[in-house]
């Protein structure tokens, strides 16, 4: 028999309790005076007086915890009978419901006798109270959850699930306790649950109760915890047969129920636990139809819809056959429904856009054609127009549009005609230049601009040139944002002379010169900045003069002569730009003054035949 902890009075704790209760008493008494005395108020007053009197002579909370624990020990190890065990567990459960008492009970060693109740024989009536108390002890603290696990609670609770009727109070409370214990940051309780066979036991509960019941909620919640963050545990959940049970909950429980949310979350965790999850097992179990049903449901909570979309994304990342199964289940109109029916910047909209981006990025050209004709493009443009420019929803929508357009010029035209350019420019103007949303918007704008002067003119007309120039002004010359903006301007200025003039009018030259001077000479950002300057220098004398007056020559000379990288694209493009600028007397004079630098570069990079030829041609033009 385990010894009971010694009882030692704590007068300081008792005095502290007394002061707190007296303060509460005085506050309530003043309120009563303000609102006039009445019979009910008098009753409240009497209760407060009684409570104060009890506090004056009652034990401290720590002492009470020790007494509750001692009673549990005596009941479990003595011969008082099942009724006394039930009463002791009920007293412990009621005591644990008061905030702060969880720590006191654990410190007093209550977890061990409570586990003893779970594994005992003939104490079935006490099991729900013991499990409920263990749940209270574990909730809200990783340290307490680990302490409960170390007391042996997890395997004991699994044994309860295995022997109890699926719809019984004992099974429900055991599932609830497991959900509480496995819900923390520590993996130890989750590992213990899997090792004890919790997956199979929980699947049995799910299949044996009403899908929307509280028992189903706790069982699904625990499975969700077990599958989180571990490929091995996720596979164990699948092997235990839990996937069909979870799918049943998603299909049959009310869309807005907590059981549905946890079941969808569990399926998502199974898919997110590894790069190669058991997608086929979920497809065969009917998970795709169940998840699409959640997206379609008018009464589905936005967070549940987001989880369902993320789970579908886990399937979409798989082979073509699984993507086709998702499409055949009606996912595209369901995802459009989410984009149009939820807040544009919501987690649900972001997740739906991510799934569509996954379809477009990993699917065939035929699938991209399907996306373009399923009202997907207008729905994505809607998100770009309405959501916070820096939101994940915007980043995912821009990515999806970019990927959809990769199939053909016809699809790029469809994206352009849907008003994507103006929506993407809105993102550039409103998002931080270093944000993912801004990067995806630049990518999408470039995709629209390259290969068609008509689309490029639509992009420039929407204000893209001015927005990109602003990005260059605001960004560090060595940053990814500067590289993106320079790359985009390089692409746009590869088009017609009308486009080059529009970019020049937007003030691009000083911004490009600033970046070229500040970037590493052999970097990609220097290459794109030099390329854009080269394009702008090709054309009317007035624009060439503007390029020279904007300080391009010293920046281009730096790109040619500095650095040690052989085969640098920036160096070659800068040399070509200088050659094209020799038609300007001002530029020719400045380049001639730097002939020593050019000759030195020719010697340094003599192994690059193309560069040597370009520099030689440039020097010959100046002689």
Residue 80: predicted pLDDT: 72
Q: Summarize pLDDT for 5-34 with one digit per residue, the tens.
A: 332 333 333 333 333 333 433 443 333 333
Q: Summarize pLDDT for 239-265 with one digit per residue, the tens.
A: 999 999 999 999 999 988 999 999 999
Rounded to an integer, the average pLDDT of 195-200 is 97
Q: How far apart are CA 489 and CA 85, in angstroms?
A: 78
Region of poorest pLDDT, from 53-57, 359-363, 445-449: 53-57
Q: How far apart are CA 606 and CA 36, in angstroms?
A: 100
Q: Summarize pLDDT for 567-598 with one digit per residue, the tens.
A: 568 888 998 999 888 888 888 888 888 888 88
Q: What angle do CA 275, 279, 285 make, to 5 degrees?
A: 155
Q: Is 280 exposed, middle or buried (0-12, 13-18, 19+ CB in 10 A)?
A: middle
Q: How far apart are CA 529 and CA 516, in angstroms?
A: 6
Asked if the model's pLDDT at residue 380 lies above 60, the reply is yes
Greater confidence, 80 or 311? 311
Q: Is 41 exposed, middle or buried (0-12, 13-18, 19+ CB in 10 A)?
A: middle
The pLDDT-based confidence of 104 (bands split at 50, 70, 90) is very high
Cβ atoms of 578 and 618 within 8 Å: the answer is yes
- Report CA-CA distances (Å) from 453 to 53, 372, 493, 498, 533: 88, 22, 10, 9, 19
Rounded to an integer, the average pLDDT of 112-133 is 95
Residue 299: predicted pLDDT: 72
Total-model pTM: 0.80
Neighbouring residues of 437: CB distance < 8 A, sequence distance ≥ 6: 389, 390, 391, 392, 394, 395, 398, 427, 431
Residue 12: predicted pLDDT: 30
- Report CA-CA distances (Å) from 148 to 102, 188, 356: 11, 11, 44
Rounded to an integer, the average pLDDT of 467-490 is 92
Cβ count near 53 (within 10 Å): 11
Q: How far apart are CA 482 and CA 520, in angstroms?
A: 12
Helical axes 198-208 vs 242-252, angle rounded to 10°: 30
Residue 101: predicted pLDDT: 93
Q: How far apart are CA 611 and CA 450, in angstroms?
A: 27
Region of poorest pLDDT, from 125-134, 322-331, 362-371: 362-371
Q: What is the DSSP string of 15-62?
A: HHHHHHHHHHHHHHHHHHHHT---HHHHHHHHHHHHHHHHHHHSPPHH
Rounded to an integer, the average pLDDT of 591-610 is 86
Cβ atoms of 534 and 575 within 8 Å: the answer is no
Residue-averaged pLDDT of the chain: 87
């Amino acid at each position: 028999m385990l010894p009971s902890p010694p009882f030692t009075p704590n007068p300081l704790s008792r005095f502290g309790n007394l002061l707190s209760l007296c303060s509460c008493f005085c506050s309530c008494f003043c309120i009563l005076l303000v609102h006039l005395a009445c019979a009910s108020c008098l009753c409240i007053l009497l209760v407060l007086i009684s409570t104060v009197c009890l506090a004056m002579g009652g034990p401290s909370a720590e002492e009470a915890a020790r007494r509750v624990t001692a009673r549990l020990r005596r009941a479990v190890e003595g011969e008082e009978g099942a009724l006394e065990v039930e009463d002791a567990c009920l007293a412990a459960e009621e005591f644990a419901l008061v905030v702060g008492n969880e720590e006191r009970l654990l410190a007093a060693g209550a977890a061990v006798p409570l586990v003893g109740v779970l594994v005992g024989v003939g104490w079935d009536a006490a099991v729900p109270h013991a499990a409920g108390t263990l749940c209270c002890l574990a909730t809200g603290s990783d340290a307490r959850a680990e302490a409960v696990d170390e007391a042996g609670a997890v395997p004991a609770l699994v044994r309860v699930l295995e022997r109890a009727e699926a719809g019984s109070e004992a099974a429900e409370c055991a599932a609830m306790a497991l959900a509480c214990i496995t819900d923390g940051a520590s993996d130890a309780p989750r590992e213990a649950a899997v090792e004890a066979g919790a997956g199979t036991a929980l699947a049995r509960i799910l299949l044996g109760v009403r899908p929307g019941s509280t028992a189903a909620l706790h069982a699904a919640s625990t499975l969700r915890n077990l599958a989180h963050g571990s490929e091995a545990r996720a596979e164990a959940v699948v092997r235990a047969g839990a996937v069909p049970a979870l799918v049943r909950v998603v299909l049959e429980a009310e869309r807005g129920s907590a059981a549905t949310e946890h079941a969808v979350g569990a399926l998502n965790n199974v898919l997110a636990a590894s790069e190669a999850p058991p997608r086929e097992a979920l497809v065969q179990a009917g998970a795709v139809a169940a998840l699409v049903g959640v997206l379609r449901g008018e009464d589905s909570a936005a967070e549940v819809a987001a989880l369902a979309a993320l789970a579908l994304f886990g399937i979409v990342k798989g082979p073509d056959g699984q993507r086709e199964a998702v499409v055949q289940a009606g996912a595209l109109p369901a995802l459009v429904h989410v984009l149009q029916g939820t807040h544009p910047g919501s987690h649900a909209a972001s997740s739906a856009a991510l799934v569509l981006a996954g379809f477009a990025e990993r699917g065939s050209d035929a699938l991209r054609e399907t996306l373009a004709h399923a009202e997907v493009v207008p729905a994505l443009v809607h998100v770009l127009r309405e959501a916070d420019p820096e939101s994940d929803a915007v980043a995912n929508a821009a990515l999806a549009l970019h990927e959809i357009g990769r199939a053909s010029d016809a699809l790029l035209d469809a994206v352009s005609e849907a008003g994507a350019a103006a929506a993407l420019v809105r993102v550039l103007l409103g998002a931080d230049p270093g944000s993912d949303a801004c990067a995806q918007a630049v990518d999408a704008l470039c995709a629209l601009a390259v290969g068609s002067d008509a689309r490029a003119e639509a992009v420039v007309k929407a204000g893209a040139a001015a927005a990109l120039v602003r990005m260059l002004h605001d960004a560090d010359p060595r940053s990814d944002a500067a590289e993106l903006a320079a790359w985009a301007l390089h692409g746009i200025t590869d088009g017609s002379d009308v486009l080059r003039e529009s970019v020049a009018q937007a003030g691009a030259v000083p911004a490009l010169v600033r970046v070229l001077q500040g970037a590493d000479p052999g970097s990609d950002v220097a290459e794109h900045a030099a390329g854009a300057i080269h394009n702008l220098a090709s054309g009317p004398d007035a624009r060439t003069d503007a390029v020279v007056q904007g300080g391009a020559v010293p920046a281009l000379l730096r790109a040619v002569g500095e650095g040690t990288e052989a085969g640098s694209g920036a160096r070659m493009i800068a040399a070509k730009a200088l050659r094209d600028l020799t038609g300007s007397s001002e530029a020719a004079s400045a380049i001639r003054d730097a002939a020593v630098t050019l000759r030195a570069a020719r010697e340094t990079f003599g192994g690059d035949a193309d560069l040597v030829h370009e520099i030689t041609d440039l020097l010959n033009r100046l002689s």
